[in-house]
Structures are given as C-alpha cells and as structure tokens.
C-alpha cells in the first residue's frame, strides 16, 4: 500500500455520521427527511418550498481555468472551502452535481472530491446513489418510446419521422450507440428510422430536472418539450403525445434534493447532472435555493472552466432562477499553468517559471470572464505535493498584477484546515457581493448573435462559422418563436477554442458550429461546436477494468 491512502480508502475509513445529525446541523427538521439508509436522505419538497421562502445566504460559485489531463481539483476545492468556512465559525453547505457512470467507469473516475475533501458515502454517490439518473433515463426513454409507438400506431399527429429530435439516453460511455437505426425486423417492430443515444447528463430531461422549481413546474416543462415537427412544419410537443404526466410521475421522487455529508460533517446537497461541455452542467435549482434558505454560505460548482460551466451558470441558471452569487472561486494549479504555457505533460512537475508565465494567459482570460459577469473573485491555487513555494509566489504576483487576490488551497491533503486561507479570502470578497450578475447577452438578441457574443466575449474568438443549412436552422427556430431563449454552447472543455489541442489563450480564431438543438422545455437552445460528442466513448484502458469488490463486499478501484 502506498504511503498516501487512495481517495476511496480515505472515504471508507471515515467515521460517517448519521444523516439525522447532519440535518440537525443544517437546521433541517427530522420530518423533512426521506431516508435512504442511515447516511443518505432526500429532503421533502414541502420543506424545500419553506426554506426557499427565507432570506437567502451567500452563494459562492467555484469554477476553474481551462482543465488539463493533470486534473485541477475543482470539486475537491469546493468541498474543502465549505469545510474551511465551517472551521472559521460560519454556517455552510456545499451543493454539488451527481456523478455520471460514464466517467466513473471511463477515464476520469469518480466525482465526489478527493483526499481529505470528499463527500461521503463516496462509493454510493459515485454509483447508483438514490436512483435519480435512472429515473431521468427512464423518463427520457419513455418519451422516445411513445414517439415511436405513435408512428407505429398510425401517426395521427402527422409527425414527420425525419424531424424527430429526441434520441435515447444511457448513463454509460458507449460510442457504438452514437448513430443507430431503430425499428428493424419487420412491421411489428415499428417504423425504421435513424436515431442516436446521448449520455444521460446531456438529456433535455436532465436539464428540466435541474431547472425546475417544483413538481408543477417540472410537469409543465416536460410538456413543453418539442420532439418533432408535423408535416406542416409545426412543432410537436410532449403534451400532444400525452407524455407529460407519466414523465413527471417517474421523476417525482428524484426531484427531491439529496442530503449527504463531507468527511468533516458539513451538509452537502448532491443533486443534478454534470458535463458543462455538452449540457448546462450545474447543481439543481431546487438544491441550490434550498441550501441558500438554510442560511450562511452555500458553495456550489459549475463544470469545467469559466468559458463553460460559469458562463452557463450565469446566463442560464442565474437568469432562470434569479440567483445572485456573492463571489467566485477560480481554481488554478501550477500543473495546468505549465501545460498551457507549453510544458510537456510528463514534465509539468519540473521547475518551469517561463511556462508558468506563458500559461498565465489562460488564467488571465478566466479572470476577465468572471469580472465580465460582474462578480468578485479569488483565485484558488490548488497545491499538489511537490509544488514549489517560489512558483506559488510567482503566481501570486501575476494575480496581484491583475488585481485578483490569490489564496493557496491544500484541501486534498488537509481538508478544511487546508482551505482556511481560501475561506478567509472568500468571506472578504463576498462582503459586498450578492448583486445580480451581468449577462453576456440580452434576451432579445437573435440566437446566432447570442452564441457569437459568447464566443467573442468569453472565448476570445473572432466569430462563429457554419454551413448554410445550420444558419437556416437558427433562422427556423427564430421564426417558430424560440429566439428569446438563452443558448447553451456544447464545446470541448480542453480549450477556449473548439479545438482541444489549442491551449493557452488563443485569439482571432473561429468557432465552427455544426448543429443546433432546441430544448424548449428546459428553456434554451443547444449549439454544438467542433467535434464535441454528446455520447462519450471508453478509453483504451477504462477504469471499469480496475474496479471490483473486496471479500467483505467493499468496493475498490473507484479512484
């Protein structure tokens, strides 16, 4: 066994507290808990409604610079920050997204934090948890089945099969399902047509689940989903298929936020889907607003860098839910700075002040993005073992030259104690925060112009580019009355551009748009750029090959 235990070993060795004790610490009464064993619970929706009516606490968003294969530790920092705030005497909670099984069994691994800054029970959170993802997948696939059944049973709505815009979903990475043909094998098996699978976090049902305020809003949003066009070119919604009620029934229990705990006993609401590269990638509105109603500080994260998760957090989630972040934590690492500055991947731990200087251009772009949203920020330099003090001070000087405060964070090795300096800096930054953020674009800007405004303002692009047929789809959505919706850009997380190999902070590039999808129930339009995929594939050596059970039934290999 190595000197430093693995994440799962640390989690399994933890003294986990009864969930009732965590609820009491958060001010949640026992009758508001829907227990899932001794250490997990859902919160009764009537309590959520009551909590959301209270004066809100201060919301702290955690985002990051452009991620690299070295890993930046955004979730670890978020968990450590919440624990650090508690250590300073503040009431705090952390709101995280639920892990997807795709990365768990693929390349990235689990998503419950790391080291001594984790949410537990780690294995259960990373696997089936309380069944939310299964419910979302079942609801999505029921709607897909109702569409195909309608086509098979005579198609009274006159749906044009070629316009069906809803594939199926699976919460695993399976590249063989990206493009499929369904209905083969004879007339009794349905109408043959081309289709596809997305990973569950990319489902519009997931977005609706994350943005719904309550059960009534959930069902209305499900009913507004546009799933096809009829032969006259008019949108066909889920309500026309009589689907909204049954979908809402499948999601009724899942909609209640999940309560768990950090290793240090800080309340954690883990609810909603990840993947801000292909979805909006934020913790559910219900979980975030319920946590805010508990008072104190609420730390939440949005996926990947400020160009993806934070942009969508502001322009979609804050716009729809009326949230007002008090401050932003912008996570950076020496490793990421060096890689963006041209260092070789296998040499990012070696001293390289020149690469740090060059790579700071990427962090500088993200600092500018957060300021563009009108939000105060603190750069959190997530320290790894072996990071050199002189390089940490170099980053501090570079941040100070930009007027951005920086705090070191050692949550992975030190838990909340390792994040106290960051917590103090965030408290100071949040003192004057809490005003509405600045949106990147107004609602009345045309859809194409909204996407281009993001590309130019947030990514540093010259413009968007596309084939004529794609522009025609934008124009069609405008003509159908969807022009007032926000846009959700699907783009590689590995670069500010649409090319994952372009690191740093490029300028003057163009962002190729290959398609646009309507998510009318969620309330936005998805713009697909470059080669980004909505169904990932497994790597050559997937994590699934190294995961298993010990003789006592405990899990090994999750991370």
Comparing CA positions, the residue from 303, 248, 247, 246 lying closest to residue 279 is 303
First-to-last alpha carbon distance for the chain, in angstroms, is 14
Main-chain dihedrals φ then ψ at residue 52, nearest 5 degrees: -70, -15
Partners of residue 490 on adjacent β-strands: 528
CA distance 505 to 536: 26
CA distance 339 to 120: 32
Q: Which two structure tokens, joined as six digits, stand for 320? A: 């729809």
The 3-state DSSP class for residue 125 equals helix
Partners of residue 41 on adjacent β-strands: 35, 259
Whether the Cβ atoms of residue 369 and residue 382 lie closer than 8 Å to each other: no
CA distance 282 to 350: 35
Tell me whether the omega of the peptide bond preceding residue 121 falls within 30 degrees of 0, making it cis: yes
Question: Other CB atoms closer than 10 Å to residue 414's CB: what's the count?
Answer: 18
Contacting residues for 2 by C-beta, under 8 A, at least 6 apart: none
Contacting residues for 186 by C-beta, under 8 A, at least 6 apart: none
Comparing CA positions, the residue from 528, 506, 508 lying closest to residue 517 is 528
**Which amino acids are annotated catalytic?**
74, 76, 97, 108, 276, 304, 384, 412
Q: Which two structure tokens, joined as six digits, stand for 328? A: 């932003």
């Amino acid at each position: 066994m190595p000197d430093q235990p693995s994440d799962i070993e640390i989690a399994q060795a933890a003294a986990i507290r009864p969930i009732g004790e965590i609820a009491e610490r958060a001010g949640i009464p026992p009758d508001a808990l829907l227990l899932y064993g001794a250490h997990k619970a859902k919160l009764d929706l009537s309590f959520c409604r009551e909590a959301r009516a209270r004066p809100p606490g201060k919301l702290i968003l955690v985002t990051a610079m452009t991620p690299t294969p070295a890993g930046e530790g955004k979730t670890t920092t978020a968990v450590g920050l919440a624990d650090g705030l508690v250590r300073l005497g503040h009431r705090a909670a952390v709101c995280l997204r639920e892990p997807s099984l795709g990365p768990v069994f693929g390349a990235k691994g689990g998503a419950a934090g790391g080291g001594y800054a984790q949410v537990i029970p780690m294995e259960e959170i990373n696997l089936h948890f309380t069944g939310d993802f299964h419910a979302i997948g079942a609801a999505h696939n029921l709607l897909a089945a109702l569409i195909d059944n309608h086509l098979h049973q005579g198609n009274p709505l006159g749906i044009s099969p070629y316009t069906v815009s809803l594939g199926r979903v699976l919460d695993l990475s399976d590249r063989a399902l990206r493009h499929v043909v369904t209905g083969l094998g004879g007339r009794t098996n349905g109408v043959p047509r081309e289709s596809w699978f997305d990973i569950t976090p990319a489902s519009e049902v997931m977005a609706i689940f994350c943005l719904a305020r309550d059960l009534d809003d959930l069902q209305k949003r499900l009913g507004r989903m546009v799933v096809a066009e009829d032969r006259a070119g008019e949108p066909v919604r889920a309500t026309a298929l009589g689907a909204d009620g049954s979908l809402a029934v499948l999601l009724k229990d899942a909609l209640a936020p999940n309560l768990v705990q950090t290793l240090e006993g800080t309340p954690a609401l883990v609810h909603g889907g990840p993947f801000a590269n292909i979805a909006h990638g934020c913790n559910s509105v219900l979980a975030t607003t319920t946590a805010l109603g508990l008072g104190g500080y609420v730390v939440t994260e949005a996926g990947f860098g400020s160009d993806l998760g934070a942009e969508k957090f502001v322009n979609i989630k804050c716009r729809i839910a009326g949230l007002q972040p008090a401050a932003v934590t912008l996570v950076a690492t020496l490793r990421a700075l060096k890689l963006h500055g041209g260092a070789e991947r296998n040499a990012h731990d070696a001293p390289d002040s020149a690469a740090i200087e060059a790579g700071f251009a990427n962090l500088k772009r993200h600092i500018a993005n957060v300021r563009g949203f009108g939000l105060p920020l603190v750069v959190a330099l997530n320290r790894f073992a072996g990071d050199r003090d002189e390089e940490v001070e170099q980053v501090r000087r570079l941040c100070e030259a930009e007027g951005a405060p920086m705090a070191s964070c050692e949550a992975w090795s030190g838990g909340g104690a390792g994040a106290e300096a960051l917590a103090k800096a965030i408290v100071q930054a949040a003192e004057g925060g809490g005003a509405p953020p600045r949106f990147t674009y107004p609602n009345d800007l045309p859809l194409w112009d909204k996407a281009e405004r993001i590309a130019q303002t947030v990514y540093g692009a010259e413009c968007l580019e596309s084939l004529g047929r794609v522009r025609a789809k934008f124009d069609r959505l405008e003509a159908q009355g969807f022009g007032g919706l926000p846009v959700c850009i699907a783009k590689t997380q590995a670069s500010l551009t649409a090319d994952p190999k372009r690191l740093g902070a490029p300028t003057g590039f163009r962002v190729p748009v290959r398609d646009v999808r309507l998510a009318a129930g969620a309330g936005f339009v998805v713009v697909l750029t470059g080669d980004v995929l909505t169904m990932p594939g497994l790597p050559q050596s997937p994590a699934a090959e190294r995961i298993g059970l010990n003789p006592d039934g405990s899990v090994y290999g999750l991370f």
